[in-house]
Structure 1
Amino acid sequence: MATGLDGIERAGRFITFEGGEGAGKSTQIKRLAARLREKGLVVVLTREPGGTTLAESVRAFILSGAAEPLGPEAEMVLFAAARADHVDRVIGPALARGEWVLCDRFIDSTRAYQGGDGVDPDLLNGLEALAIDGVRPDLTLMLDLPVEIGLARAARRRDDGDAPDRFERETVERHERRRQVFLSIATANPDRCVVIDANRSEEEVAEAVWQVVLKRFADRLG
């Protein structure tokens, strides 16, 4: 069993999806959930920031751009508060019940976005530890593709007339820096992270994701 809140044994599995704008996380997380449910598993789909009423309010505030003038440190504090509520109310209890939790973004996005914007690593590490309370992913799928392609995809998926959100409207250079942080995290954490080439068709990416999950959790899915 994997370790959950405060070192307590947990029966479920925790998979996170990470990557830049337009990488296809939302699409792929739904496809994986469907395949896991076909195996008879109970699956919880969630996202960050979000997942609870409080965290969704924080999400709306951040993505609107209202928090941007406060700087990356303040944004990170907001993310940490939302994450703590999310872990306490949704992720931790689901894992304890033996459910599989699939989350669109988690700790690595904070490292890529706020960490990539220069937040002090000690502050980042301290807030992360407080927020997750020992709950770490069993597997992180890093969906990777060239920044320009991802931003073009993000633009196409917006409804006509919708403005880009707080992060989508940033420079290509800034997004490229975050992409490199994601790849560095994957390199440094090979036991947890797997990079998936997302510059392929939706079906090809979904199959690549499924093969990784099958291999990683062969004892549960075989």
Structure 2
Amino acid sequence: MASKSLIIICSLFLALTFLGNSACNAARVLLEETPKEEHPSLPKLELPPLPEFPKLELPPLPEIPHELPKPELPPLPEIPHELPKPELPPLPEIPHELPKPELPPLPEIPHDLPKPELPHLPEIPHELPKPELPPLPEIPHELPKPELPPVPEIPHELPKPELPPLPEIPHELPKPELPEIPHELPKPELPPLPEIPHELPKPELPEIPHQQPEEPHHR
């Protein structure tokens, strides 16, 4: 336990020193790399020299053997190859043929049963009597032709009707006499248009009186 605590303390101390050195180196690099124009008035920081820490003498680590010692296990109990058979009680003997049960004797059934006496059915005649139908009236084979009136004779050629004579239509109708149209029509006399002045007279507007500003009243 003491060696483990020493190792932890030493590792923490080394980590802190390494972090402090790395932070100081980073600050120096930043100050050296920044141009002078950005901080002309800032003086360079002069860091004091770091104290020299004495080297830590760590105790030697214990040797770890390559092969760990095998633990001594207790010997396993021997398992026999054949387990002892359990002693079962003897089963009762089952006979091959079971005793037949004694059934009561069945009653005797006669071979011929007595026929029942059926009543006599009435006799049905094979042919029913035909009914007497009245005699049908005789229908003649040929019906008498009816007497049609004589058809009037139609002549092959009908007489043409006498049409009145149509009036004669002349081939050339008389031309109507049209009045002569002069080539130049007389111009109508229009009344003279009124003269429109180029500049319209400006309307005379009434003079608007100028309003004088009111003097402030002294209280």
Answer yes or no: same fold by TM over 0.5.
no
Quick one: higher RCO (CA 8 Å, sep 6+), 1 or 2?
Answer: 1
Higher strand share: 1
**TM class, shorter-length:** under 0.3
